[in-house]
Structure 1
Amino acid sequence: MDKYLSVTAITKYIKYKFDQDPHLQNVFIKGEISNFKRHSSGHLYFALKDNKGVLSAMMFKSNASQLSFNPKEGDQVLIEGRIGLYETRGAYQIYVQSMQLDGVGLLYEKFEALKKELAEKGYFKEEHKLSIPKYPQKIAVLTASTGAAIRDICSTLDKRYPLAEQVLISTLVQGKEAKDNIINNIEKADAMGVDVIIVGRGGGSIEDLWSFNEREVVEAIYNCSTPVISAVGHETDTTLSDFVSDVRAATPTQAAVIATPDIQALYQLINNGRQYITKHIAQKIQRDKQQLKQLSSYYKLKTPTLLYDQETQKLDDYQKQLNRSMEQLFLSEKHRLNILHNKLSIGPIINKKNQFRQDFNRLNIMQTQLMNRILTQKQQLLKGQVVQLDTLSPTQTMLRGYSIIEKNDKIITSKNDLQVDDEITINLKDGKINANVKEIR
């Protein structure tokens, strides 16, 4: 029985072989995602298949968080990882370390990344978009010189609005040189002073349309000062040029429709306007005729003198009123002048002047007397204050036998301010004495 191994033992042995094989530690595999599941833990579980085989795959959350896209069923992917054995089920699988889209998927990934970047910069905001002129005089068409797109655009323009001049600029819409050619032609058309630019081509795969997803082409359209209509591909095809352009058309034909008015609709609009104006002019003429007829039958117009007879009489009345008013005003002003003349008579003025002079002399005498009296009072007051000041001065006090004692330039007023052996200065009437304190009683 010892020669028989347990399932666990053989599984561990096989896992050991997988883990030790250097060729299985770093493998590169491409295939299609199948049975894709995202676990609540964040780990990814799926199968990688091609037309002849299937390989189980598992990607840990730490590696899955580094992905630049959201994997889904049917994605063609390129995978780097290691092959190992899951002991619980005894099945081998690839532990995915990195994963990216393969082929077209890479283009879609690049498309979404660039779209997000440009959107964050504001390239697609409505506030930057220009309005299409209602009646363009010159339209530039940038597309291939041969193909259905140029025929559809030109035939639609000829049919809808032949008044507009068409400027056809042959443009590469596919291939390596297409990007630079599109940019140069957009700048060329912008410098020509056209009213609107149509950039278009027929449908195709994402690879065919990729020139219109290039960053430089998007920036050229964004910086263009002329309104741009993008008509790249069919209705289901969308490029970054569609997002940044001022208007996006589903097809080249629709681009021509957006760029121009319908000449038949304009004819109808003109005819409607002509009918409207003709109708209102006829109505106005009819109303004026009726008004003229009514005025011509007015009785005053039949007898013109009635229009000015009463006005002539009113003029005479106004003339009489004016003369009376002028006479009254003259008399009133003459009376006021007499009153002023009497007030300005010279006699009263002289009397007033003499009276003012007498009053001035009297007040001058009173002022002089008052000043002398105040001066005498002030002199007497000053003499009294001088005597009082002299009586209260320290010098007079010392003349009567008193002295002033100082310590450190401060006057001593109490025995409590002194101590034995303090040096003091005794100020007398005729000098100073420096002394020391021997006893305090």
Structure 2
Amino acid sequence: MTAMENGKEQILSVSDLTVLIKRLFEQNPYLSDCWVRGEISNFTRHSSGHMYFTLKDSGSRIKSVMFASKNRNLNFLPKEGMKVLIRGYVSVYERDGQYQLYVEEMQPDGIGSLYLAFQQLKERLEKEGLFLQEHKKQIPRFPKVIGVVTSPTGAAVRDIITTIRRRYPVAHVLLHPVLVQGTEAPQSIAAAIQQLNTQPELAIDVLILGRGGGSLEELWAFNEEVVARAIFASQIPVISAVGHETDFTIADFVADVRAATPTAAAELAVPHLMELFRHLDSEQQRMATALAGRMREMKRRFETLEQSPVFTRPTDRIHQLRQRIDHTENELELVLTKLAGTRNKQVNDLMQRLARRSPVERVMRTEQQFGFLLQKLSAAMTNRMTAAGTRLDRMIDKLDAYSPLQVMKRGYSLTYRVDKDKQLIRSIREVQLGDKLNVRLQDGWLDCQVWGMEEEHNRDE
């Protein structure tokens, strides 16, 4: 700050004085957020979107400005001579050294008192948390019973019922008539919401609360606290549809879902039946496509298995099992031979130890121990041979069960061509009339000749 001391006085520049006055305005809590009523004059809207005008009454006037970021939310156009109610703050425009009113909100003065009441209740309920998203209930996707709380004679109820019947005729509409305008309307609306919540036998899935458009005074019943509390306490999800798209009420903020119009509320409450049918058709087509693909995959797997060696060359498996038995016998023989050698070595060691010891008692004890070991060895070898024989018998039984000869015992046969390769016949298409064939039965062969043929057709062909 530039200053010049002259005794105890301090001399300020014009800029310093203006800044000081501006700070005084800003530090005053009343001037930082106040409501002012007046008449608009000298109204100008700049190309930037800012609004400049003078607010006056019979005794005084004050320059005012409403920036574009604030006035773009206005639902009316200010005009010369219009009486308005303004909320804003007072500050100083430093360049001209003039104080002026910076406008935050503006409403026509005719509804000023109601708008103030609306703002105060909205701020209080918002602080209490009645508007929080975490309290919003989900609207059921397929409601069976829809409760409608509105006037029975207005256009809103006709729009709601018509829309529901057109979109989702399977739903049942339960109308609870109420007053939607006047001093008794708030209690009528709140009582209806409470009553429908205390009648579980009605099984109401969703409530539509609404009325047609109107002025702020006409919609005021839906701005009352008793209605807001009733909506918040409702266990049934509530769709608010009050007025037109530009109208907002306290009920809209508390409700679980806000609809722009009664017709939109009905569209939010129920799905469109034709859309559901189209969705079902689409899902059915997807299921059919998936099933067809699954069938193709199963058919491919079946054909792959059909061509596997197990079916084309069944004897290969028998040969492999027989070879495994031979290997097992060889391994068993080696094990027994090794075990016998080990036991013989142990016997020889014992005999040498006995030979080195002369006392007769020890010789007798050794002979007894030797005899016991021989018995144990013999028993072990017998058990081992018995177990191996048992396993061998089981494997032979399994091989016998897999043998085609066992299948032939049940009446089946194999047919071969009469040639040096003895080719196996799998289809009637591989033979012709007059062909000579060999038929293998379980106990012998038959020499046959084809005198007649009859082909069976598969149903899938």
TM-score normalised over the length of structure 2:
0.51
Correspondence 1:48-67 to 2 at 5 A: 48=57, 55-57=58-60
Q: Of residues 22, 30, 39 in structure 2, which corresponds to 1:33?
A: 39
Residue type at the aligned position of 1:268: R
The 8 Å contact of residues 179 and 211 in structure 1, kept in 2 or not, is answered as yes
In 2, the alpha carbon distance for the partners of 1:225 and 1:323 equals 85
Name the counterpart of 1:266.
Answer: 276
Residue type at the aligned position of 2:39: I
Name the counterpart of 1:149.
Answer: 156
Name the counterpart of 1:252.
Answer: 262
- 1:313 and 2:323 are equivalent in the alignment: yes
How far off is 1:196 after superposition? 1.5
Correspondence 1:37-436 to 2 at 5 A: 46-48=55-57, 55-57=58-60, 74-75=82-83, 104-191=111-198, 192=200, 193-315=203-325, 317-318=327-328, 321=331
In 1, the alpha carbon distance for the partners of 2:206 and 2:238 equals 6
Unaligned runs of 5+ in 1: 1-30, 38-44, 49-54, 60-71, 78-99, 343-441
Considering only aligned residues, what root-mean-square deviation do their CA atoms show, in Å? 3.7
Residue type at the aligned position of 1:129: K
- Counterpart of 2:299 in 1: which secondary structure? helix
In 2, the alpha carbon distance for the partners of 1:335 and 1:229 equals 99
Structure 1 pair 56–270 and aligned structure 2 pair: CA distance change class (3 A) = same
Structure 1 pair 179–294 and aligned structure 2 pair: CA distance change class (3 A) = same
The 8 Å contact of residues 138 and 196 in structure 1, kept in 2 or not, is answered as yes
Name the counterpart of 1:82.
Answer: none
| 1:92-123 Cα shifts (integer Å, max 9, x gaps) | xxxxxxxx996521111100111111112221
In 1, the alpha carbon distance for the partners of 2:344 and 2:276 equals 82
Structure 1 pair 328–253 and aligned structure 2 pair: CA distance change class (3 A) = farther
How far off is 1:33 after superposition? 2.5
Residue type at the aligned position of 1:245: A
In 1, the alpha carbon distance for the partners of 2:295 and 2:120 equals 69
The 8 Å contact of residues 241 and 262 in structure 2, kept in 1 or not, is answered as yes
| 1:257-301 Cα shifts (integer Å, max 9, x gaps) | 111111111111111111111122122212322332232233430
Name the counterpart of 2:91.
Answer: none
How far off is 1:302 after superposition? 2.9
Structure 1 pair 305–124 and aligned structure 2 pair: CA distance change class (3 A) = same
The 8 Å contact of residues 231 and 255 in structure 2, kept in 1 or not, is answered as yes
How far off is 1:321 after superposition? 3.7
Residue type at the aligned position of 2:60: A
- Counterpart of 1:310 in 2: which secondary structure? helix
How far off is 1:46 after superposition? 4.7
In 2, the alpha carbon distance for the partners of 1:197 and 1:101 equals 34
| 1:32-56 Cα shifts (integer Å, max 9, x gaps) | 624499xxxxxxx8533xxxxxx22
Deviates more, 1:105-114 or 1:173-182: 173-182
In 1, the alpha carbon distance for the partners of 2:254 and 2:147 equals 18
- Counterpart of 1:243 in 2: which secondary structure? helix
In 2, the alpha carbon distance for the partners of 1:107 and 1:334 equals 118
- Counterpart of 2:239 in 1: which secondary structure? strand
The 8 Å contact of residues 40 and 84 in structure 2, kept in 1 or not, is answered as no
Unaligned runs of 5+ in 2: 1-36, 44-53, 63-77, 86-106, 354-461
- Counterpart of 1:56 in 2: which secondary structure? coil
In 1, the alpha carbon distance for the partners of 2:119 and 2:241 equals 20
Structure 1 pair 255–325 and aligned structure 2 pair: CA distance change class (3 A) = farther
Name the counterpart of 1:374.
Answer: none
The 8 Å contact of residues 75 and 105 in structure 1, kept in 2 or not, is answered as no
| 1:200-235 Cα shifts (integer Å, max 9, x gaps) | 111111111111101111111112222211000111
In 1, the alpha carbon distance for the partners of 2:292 and 2:205 equals 39
Structure 1 pair 172–321 and aligned structure 2 pair: CA distance change class (3 A) = farther
The 8 Å contact of residues 35 and 47 in structure 1, kept in 2 or not, is answered as yes
How far off is 1:145 after superposition? 1.4
- Counterpart of 2:60 in 1: which secondary structure? strand
In 2, the alpha carbon distance for the partners of 1:176 and 1:150 equals 21
Residue type at the aligned position of 2:82: G
Larger radius of gyration, structure 1 or 2? Answer: 1
Tell me the number of residue pairs that the alignment of Structure 1 and Structure 2 aligns. 267
The 8 Å contact of residues 38 and 55 in structure 2, kept in 1 or not, is answered as no
In 2, the alpha carbon distance for the partners of 1:197 and 1:330 equals 94
Residue type at the aligned position of 1:107: L
The 8 Å contact of residues 101 and 109 in structure 1, kept in 2 or not, is answered as no
Residue type at the aligned position of 1:47: K
The 8 Å contact of residues 139 and 195 in structure 1, kept in 2 or not, is answered as yes
Residue type at the aligned position of 1:311: L
Structure 1 pair 132–322 and aligned structure 2 pair: CA distance change class (3 A) = farther
